């Protein structure tokens, strides 16, 4: 069972608990706090395991001081989207005009939205049993880990970075940001610098790479050099 290769098997079904048993909310929250690692055999075929491509929009670039204001993700198996995740996140940090200009997100759009304390557990459930993927993943993972730490979670979940991966398998491009990759693969954005809009393009970029046998990206081991801890 795929889940047995994931930390979620130990986290969700601690010793002595029947895997078919149910847990109340308190037990579930406690189990999620135990997430400390994620491990898969290097031979794991990427097209045979759920890949969660995700993106965050934030109040700024400092993972210690800034907060996530939007999260978007798509769960993909064998190139097919099987589920999506999208949520604004309320924050007490005032958005700068630069952030609003970049993302199109205004302070009013965050009023009444769920807090990270509500959003993060749902996202962690969404990624269970999955490899997570992001572009410039060091930034998104830093923001995600900081959000988790503030809420008492210990999150050590490796994520492979498509910026690092494309630098390796597509040498010679002038840049490796998402705009350049979209242009390279002739893709268009529904909404640039919005979490779901960026995720959709990133998924298309990733599928182009996985479907090109000449690039040799097939297994977890093939992307190991692109992993962000």
* CATH code for the domain of 221: 3.30.420.10
- The conformation of residue 115, written as its DSSP 8-state character, comes to P
> Counting Cβ atoms within 10 Å, is residue 185 exposed (0-12), middle (13-18) or buried (19+)?
middle
Report d(CA 195, CA 205) in Å as an integer: 15
pLDDT of 118 reads 97
Position 21 pLDDT exceeds 60 = no
Residue 80 in any domain: the answer is: yes
Residue 149 in any domain: the answer is: no
pLDDT of 171 reads 96
37 labelled catalytic: no
Position 156 pLDDT exceeds 70 = yes
Average pLDDT of span 19-36: 44
Average pLDDT, the chain: 85
Position 7 pLDDT exceeds 60 = no
- Residue 95 tokens read as 């958005």
Beta pairing class for 131-134 and 159-161: parallel
Domain of 77 in residue numbering reads as 43-144+159-228
The C-alpha R_g of the chain, in whole angstroms, comes to 18
pLDDT of 39 reads 74
Residue 18 in any domain: the answer is: no
Residue 190 in any domain: the answer is: yes
Question: For residues 173, 179, 183 and 188, what is the CA-based torsion angle, rounded to 10 degrees?
Answer: 160
pLDDT of 38 reads 66
Helix boundaries (H) for the chain? 7-12, 25-33, 97-103, 107-110, 116-127, 137-150, 162-169, 178-184, 195-211
**Which residue bears the tokens 């807090």?**
115
pLDDT of 95 reads 97
Contacts of 171 (CB under 8 A, 6+ apart): none
pLDDT of 40 reads 83
Position 115 pLDDT exceeds 80 = yes
Position 127 pLDDT exceeds 50 = yes
Closest CA to 132 of 174, 76, 190, 188: 76
Average pLDDT of span 147-167: 91
Q: Model's pTM, two decimal places?
A: 0.82
Residue 25 in any domain: the answer is: no
pLDDT of 193 reads 66
Catalytic residue among 5, 67, 135, 193: 193
Position 3 pLDDT exceeds 90 = no
Residue 38 in any domain: the answer is: no
Number of domains in the chain: 1
Q: How confident is the model at residue 16 (pLDDT cuts 50, 70, 90)?
A: very low
Report d(CA 153, CA 149) in Å as an integer: 5
Using DSSP's 3-state secondary structure scheme, residue 222 falls into helix
Residue 9 in any domain: the answer is: no
Better pLDDT: 156 or 78: 78
Residue 120 in any domain: the answer is: yes
């Amino acid at each position: 069972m795929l889940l047995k290769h994931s930390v979620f098997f130990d986290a969700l079904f601690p010793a002595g608990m029947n895997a078919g048993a149910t847990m109340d909310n308190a037990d579930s929250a406690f189990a999620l706090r135990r997430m400390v690692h994620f491990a898969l055999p290097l031979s794991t075929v990427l097209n045979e395991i759920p890949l969660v491509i995700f993106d965050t929009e934030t109040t700024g670039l400092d993972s210690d001081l800034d907060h996530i204001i939007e999260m978007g993700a798509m769960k993909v198996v064998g190139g097919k989207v099987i589920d999506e995740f999208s949520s604004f996140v309320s924050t007490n940090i005032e958005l700068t005009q630069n952030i609003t200009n970049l993302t199109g997100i205004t302070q009013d759009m965050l009023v009444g939205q769920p807090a990270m304390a509500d959003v993060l557990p749902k996202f962690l459930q969404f990624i269970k049993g999955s490899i997570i993927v992001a572009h410039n993943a060091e930034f998104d993972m830093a923001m995600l880990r900081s959000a988790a730490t503030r809420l008492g979670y210990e999150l050590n979940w490796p994520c492979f970075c498509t910026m690092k991966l494309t630098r390796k398998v597509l040498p010679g491009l002038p840049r490796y940001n998402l705009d350049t990759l979209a242009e390279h693969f002739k893709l268009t954005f529904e909404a640039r610098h919005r979490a779901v809009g960026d995720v959709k393009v990133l998924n298309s970029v990733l599928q182009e790479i996985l479907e090109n046998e000449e690039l040799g990206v097939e297994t977890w081991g093939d992307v190991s050099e692109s992993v962000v801890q």
